[in-house]
Amino acid sequence: MSSAEPILSVNLGKLRLKNPVMPASGTFGYGQEFAEFVNLNDLGAIIVKCTTLAPRLGSFENRLVEIPGGILSTIGLQNVGVHRFVKEKLPYLRQFDTPVIVNIGGGSVEEFVKVAEILNRTGGIAGLEINISCPNVAQGGMHFGIDPDTTYNVVKSVRECTDLTIIVKLTPVSNVSLFAKICEEAGADAVSLINAIPGMAIDIETRKPKLGKNIAGGVTGPCLKPIALKMVWDVVRAVKIPVIGIGGISSAEDALEFLIAGATAIQIGTYNFVDPQAMIKIIRGIRDYLVKKRLNDIRELIGTLKIET
Amino acid sequence: MLQLKAFILANEQIGDRFWRITIAAPQIASTISPGQFVNLKISPSIYPFYPLLRRPFTVLKRIPRANPSAIEIVYEIVGKGTKLMTKLRKGDELDLIGPLGQGFSWKRFLDKEVHVLVGGGIGSAALFMLAEEISQMIPRYNLKLVIFIDARTKDELVLEADFKTLPADLRVATHDGQYGYHGYVTQMLEDYLDKEGVSHKAVIYACGPEIMYRKLQQICRHYGVPAQISLERHMGCGIGACLSCVCKVRKETVMKYRNLAASHIQFVPEKELGYALVCKDGPVFNIEEVEFDE
């Protein structure tokens, strides 16, 4: 039996994923953009672009610049709005045997609730990821995720209007565990972290911000990984609900570090841009690792960090 | 749109800051059309994170007769990515995605007699395949093909020899005046339109820096000549997912040319300006669609 296929499936609340690998919101469009590179049936879940009540234009031009080991970018939640999402984007995703999780954003608790209500009565959606951590919009972003009371209110209010699986995407603040606990208390099924860390870059020739009129953006990519891993490690010890690790994961080895630290699942962000097949390679790499280590089930690996005392 | 491993057949310096790389890619050579681009991961294995992102390049030429058939790209060293690219040698492997984007739709303008190509600096590389295609149609449609290219100096006019091989009226300019017309390619174009009186039967295809497009937009408005231009942006993914490579577009003119529902263009109610994705809706746009910052 040593060559038996290892079990990769994990649960986020009542939602069962066939494997723990999914895209980070905003790095995978609405799935269709990647369909020529990836069989969407192979993914653990599909998390689509952050969706707000009304369509948004997003940030100014000059939205992205590469930095050592990562990117600095600001998209500012450009999206088609929840109504066009339901009408034009969701029907395509329904054909796949992969749970669709919609990342939702808003400028007020009421907006979050309205978007959640609309998605709740639309079939074909498995879960919501509440985005209280986007650093790139003045309203509807990070300010929700840095205030304990508003965090509680948003999560509680969305919880009251839906039975869909709720994930809360956390802001990378130093006391992130406190916010994770608040989300758990407010009824979240899982938390995901980390979102981008605010950053900026300056062109010394012109003395202008490299992101132009946007001035600042969010840092993502491989350079985030150690920071994200530490925060995930902190959060898994603070809450009982599943934790989804995000931050610079570019290979199966990176993903395995997060799983060993205690993440139940992981999201791939920036690296989807580098290699559209990254998630497929990571799923295969996790599987090969389990085989090599003679582990029959991924749950035998999750949260098994060995600490010498 | 394919993702594939491709071997380098040659990579040689052709000017102070300019290089020419030849990549074996039969599937790309046989399907790419003028104005489309490829997205290259320059360092797939040894330094996977440096540079991290792919770099988009316009293709200069298809070389169907090479074995295997290949594509040729001319690039300028502008940053760390292109500097590293000069280190690539024959036999090295690249990860390539392509063909990407919407190229020039020149057949829409077959009712025009004079097809004018305007290449600013190394931007002229994006026009070569188009020039080849149009030149093959000269006898059939009785077209006139006029090509304007420029560079700062004679030494930087690295594609003149390539364009000379085509049956076209080629005119070159240098900014320092040491060779050809003294000035910018747009001045040369204006002189031409003034003297020849062909505005009513001309169409322009251009690639160059943004400052050139701002001038070209004025020229096109003044002479009433339509133009297609190829835009350049920093890209995250090149496949329409990251929404980084946006350019500002005008709703009124976009509606004239495109089916909005089939595009990636984002407008919101009550605003005339929206954002198009250079990687998906472009890189070639009608010049009237684009709104340039001052």
Q: Which helix (H) or strand (E) is B203 found in, with range?
A: strand B202-207
Chain A interface mutation, best of B3, B237, B292, highest count of A Cβ atoms under 10 Å? B237
| Greatest C-alpha distance within chain A | 65
Rounded-to-integer distance, Cα A27 and Cα B213, Å:
31
Phi and psi for A118 in degrees, rounded to 5?
-65, -45
Is it true that the peptide bond before A101 is cis, omega within 30 degrees of 0? no
Whether residue B266 and residue A80 make contact (CB cut-off 8 A), yes or no, is yes
Minimum distance, in Å, between the CA of residue A143 and any CA atom of chain B: 23
Q: How many CB atoms lie within 10 A of CB B197?
A: 10
Q: From B261, which residue of chain A is nearest by alpha-carbon distance? A: A88
Nearest 5°: the CA angle A62, A276, B11 is: 75
Task: List CB contacts of B147: < 8 A, sequence separation 6 or more.
Answer: B116, B117, B119, B127, B131, B163, B166, B168, B169, B170, B171
Mean pLDDT value across residues A80-99? 96
The confidence band for A1, taking pLDDT boundaries of 50, 70 and 90, is very low
pLDDT of A168-226, one tens digit each?
A: 999 898 899 999 999 999 999 999 999 999 999 999 999 999 999 999 999 999 999 99
Contact B27, B1 (CB under 8 A): no
For residue A146, with 0-12 CB atoms within 10 Å meaning exposed, 13-18 middle and 19 or more buried, which class applies? Answer: middle
Is it true that the peptide bond before B68 is cis, omega within 30 degrees of 0? yes
Minimum distance, in Å, between the CA of residue B176 and any CA atom of chain A: 23
Q: How far apart are the first and last CA of chain A?
A: 35
Task: List CB contacts of B243: < 8 A, sequence separation 6 or more.
Answer: A26, A49, A58, A63, A75, A78, B275, B277
Task: List CB contacts of B33: < 8 A, sequence separation 6 or more.
Answer: B99, B103, B104, B129
CB pairs under 8 A between A and B: 105
Interstrand relation of A165-169 and B181-182 (parallel, antiparallel or unpaired): unpaired
DSSP B234: -
List b or e across B31-56, with b for residues whose CB sees 16 or more CB atoms inside 10 angstroms.
ebbbbbbbbbbbbbeeebbebbbbbb
Which member of A37, A55, A75 has the closest CB to residue B268?
A55
pLDDT of B15-43, one tens digit each?
A: 999 999 999 999 999 999 999 999 999 87
For tokens 């020149």, name the residue: B106
Whether residue A273 and residue B247 make contact (CB cut-off 8 A), yes or no, is no
Single-letter residue type at B161? A
Nearest 5°: the CA angle B60, B64, B68 is: 110
Q: What is the pLDDT of residue B80?
A: 85
Whether residue B240 and residue A57 make contact (CB cut-off 8 A), yes or no, is no
**Which chain A residues are Cβ-neighbours of B41 within 8 angstroms?**
274-275
At CB < 8 Å, which residues of chain A contact B? Answer: 26-29, 33-34, 36-37, 49, 54-58, 61-66, 68-71, 73, 75, 78, 80, 88, 221-222, 250, 270, 272-277
Contact A124, A93 (CB under 8 A): yes
Mean pLDDT value across residues A8-21? 97
Whether residue B271 and residue A63 make contact (CB cut-off 8 A), yes or no, is no
Rounded-to-integer distance, Cα B16 and Cα B176, Å:
16
| Greatest C-alpha distance within chain B | 56
Which member of B1, B41, B293 has the closest CB to residue A36?
B1
Q: What is the 3-state secondary structure (H, E, C) of A236-275?
A: HCCCCCCEEEECCCCCHHHHHHHHHHCCCEEEECCHHHHC
| Long-range own/partner contacts, residues A294-299 (CB < 8 A, 24 or more apart) | A294/A2, A295/A6, A296/A4, A296/A6, A296/A7, A297/A6, A297/A7, A298/A6, A298/A7, A298/A8, A298/A9, A298/A10, A298/A19, A298/A20, A298/A259, A299/A7, A299/A10
Minimum distance, in Å, between the CA of residue A286 and any CA atom of chain B: 19
Q: Considering chain A, what percentage of its residues have pLDDT values greater than 90?
A: 90
Whether residue A61 and residue B271 make contact (CB cut-off 8 A), yes or no, is no
Identify which of B136, B129, B132, B6 has the alpha carbon closest to the alpha carbon of residue B69.
Answer: B6
Positions of A marked active-site: 134
Task: List CB contacts of B153: < 8 A, sequence separation 6 or more.
Answer: B174, B175, B176, B178, B179
Rounded-to-integer distance, Cα A28 and Cα A48, Å:
7
Contact B181, B157 (CB under 8 A): no
Which member of A71, A78, A275 has the closest CB to residue B275?
A78
Phi and psi for A179 in degrees, rounded to 5?
-70, -35
Which member of A29, A37, A88 has the closest CB to residue B3?
A37
Q: CA distances (Å), A293 to each of A285, A286, A296, A305, B177, in order?
A: 12, 11, 9, 15, 70
**Which chain B residues are Cβ-neighbours of A268 within 8 angstroms?**
none
Rounded-to-integer distance, Cα A228 and Cα A242, Å:
16
Rounded-to-integer distance, Cα A121 and Cα B62, Å:
52
- Helix, strand, or coil (residue B16): coil
Low-confidence ranges of chain B (pLDDT < 70): 44-46
pLDDT of A276-286, one tens digit each?
A: 999 999 999 99
Mean pLDDT value across residues A78-106? 96
Rounded-to-integer distance, Cα B206 and Cα B194, Å:
19
Q: What integer best gives the mean pLDDT of chain B?
A: 95
Both tokens of residue B8? 């380098």
Minimum distance, in Å, between the CA of residue A170 and any CA atom of chain B: 21
Q: From B272, which residue of chain A is nearest by alpha-carbon distance? A: A57
pLDDT of A245 strictly over 60: yes
Q: Which helix (H) or strand (E) is B141 found in, with range?
A: helix B138-141
Q: What is the pLDDT of residue A134?
A: 62
Q: Considering chain A, what percentage of its residues have pLDDT values greater than 70?
A: 95
Chain B interface mutation, best of A59, A84, A274, A280, highest count of B Cβ atoms under 10 Å? A274
List b or e across B175-187, with b for residues whose CB sees 16 or more CB atoms inside 10 angstroms.
eeeeebbebbbbb
Phi and psi for B213 in degrees, rounded to 5?
-65, -35
Q: From B275, which residue of chain A is nearest by alpha-carbon distance? A: A57
Whether residue B244 and residue A63 make contact (CB cut-off 8 A), yes or no, is yes
Global pTM exceeds 0.90: yes
